[in-house]
Amino acid sequence: MLKVRNLRHVYPNGYQALNSIDLDVAEGEVVAIIGRSGAGKSTLLRCINGLERAASGELVCGGVDLMKASGAEVRELESRIGFIWQEYNLIERLSVMHNVLAGRLGRNQSQATWAFHFTKEDREIAVEALERVNMLHRAKFRADRLSGGEKQRVGIARAVAQQPTLILADEPVASLDPELAEQVMADLVRVARETGVATLINIHDVELASEFCDRFVAIAQGTVVYDGPADGITDDVLNRTYRFDRAPKVYGRTVLAEATKAAVRLDEEAARLLGEVDPKVDALAGGESVRGRR
Ligand code: ADP
């Protein structure tokens, strides 16, 4: 389904976000991609669905060689890849049903569809997708009236309505509170398994991912540092994955709590230093403080 070899990606500013990624995903597999913020997880997903064009390596998705594909081939592939976004990316003023039908736009290129006149088949596909995530009762609601968990279920339904060969989810539950995150993650993985669609889930919460995913791929500095089952995620693997953060040897929600505390400590330290520096700058400048001028 997906074959990635020695993939490298360099952003226009010269930053090399992917150094060497090797990955194979079979049909129906559900894979958690973990790694610290900035490791290259989103970049990898964006290269796979053609939003970014990788610099070198091999990248074959659903039979399309993305390193050689034309623009039209990439667009065709995109229509077969369901993307689930952290911030849902729904059209807030439209109904739930229309948001899910939007998933059909890439698949059905008729002018009528672009005028939002969908076929009976499209509507049936959208209804079935909403049923899968238990959201059919909200079909007529405007998207902006939904809770975060409901919005992400609609995001999942929209991806399913594409009848995709691959689903890519970029931190799909990071904006939800822990209880909802667990429920939505359960829905996403259940739907992936029911439909047999290969699914890659970028997720920083290792604990949550291990409840639902059998296979983990850990990325650090644009390179795969672990690829294997959840029970192979040892302290050593976590150290290799998160060492550039100097993360504590705990993970999941605890890591986030620790990281937040560390950030607050740094902020306080910075404020203290600024407090010490300001009077000296004042004395040198002979007046107004640096902070006061901002
Ligand atoms: P992750 O999803 O693991 O948090 P990303 O793939 O978003 O990481 O980013 C990987 C690295 O690439 C980060 O250092 C990020 O700052 C950098 N990056 C992301 N997008 C761009 C861009 N458009 N231009 C330059 N650098 C980028």
> Please, are residues 47 and 10 in contact by the beta-carbon 8 Å criterion?
no
State the Cα–Cα distance between residues 75 and 269, nearest whole angstrom: 49
In the reported structure, the alpha carbon of residue 278 is separated from the centroid of ligand 1 by a whole-number distance in angstroms of 34
Q: Which atom of ligand 1 is nearest to the CA of 170?
A: 2
- Tell me if residue 286 falls in helix, strand or coil: coil
Confidence of residue 272 (pLDDT cuts 50, 70, 90): low
State the Cα–Cα distance between residues 280 and 120, nearest whole angstrom: 73
CB-based pocket (< 6 A), ligand 1: 11, 13, 15, 17, 35, 37-43
Residue owning the nearest CA to atom 14 of ligand 1: 38
The DSSP code for 50 is: T
Here the tokens at position 121 are 């088949």
- The model's pLDDT over 126-175, given as tens digits with 9 standing for 90+, comes to 999 999 999 999 999 999 999 999 999 999 999 999 999 999 999 999 99
Whole-number pLDDT of residue 271: 61
For residue 199, list its beta bridge partners. 30, 167
Handedness of CA 22, 27, 29, 31 (dihedral sign): positive
Does 293 score more than 50 pLDDT? no
Q: Which helix (H) or strand (E) holds 18?
A: strand 16-25
Q: Which of 187, 212, 222 is nearest to 41 (CA)?
A: 222
- Tell me if residue 156 falls in helix, strand or coil: helix
Q: Which atom of ligand 1 is nearest to the CA of 202?
A: 2
State the Cα–Cα distance between residues 125 and 281, nearest whole angstrom: 66
Token pair 């993305």: residue: 66
Check residues 292 and 206 and name the one with the higher pLDDT.
206
Whole-number pLDDT of residue 3: 97
Residue owning the nearest CA to atom 1 of ligand 1: 38
Whole-number pLDDT of residue 290: 39
Residue owning the nearest CA to atom 16 of ligand 1: 38
* Strand ranges across the sheet with 215-220: 64-65, 56-61, 2-10, 16-25, 223-229, 215-220, 30-34, 198-202, 166-170, 81-84
Confidence of residue 251 (pLDDT cuts 50, 70, 90): very low
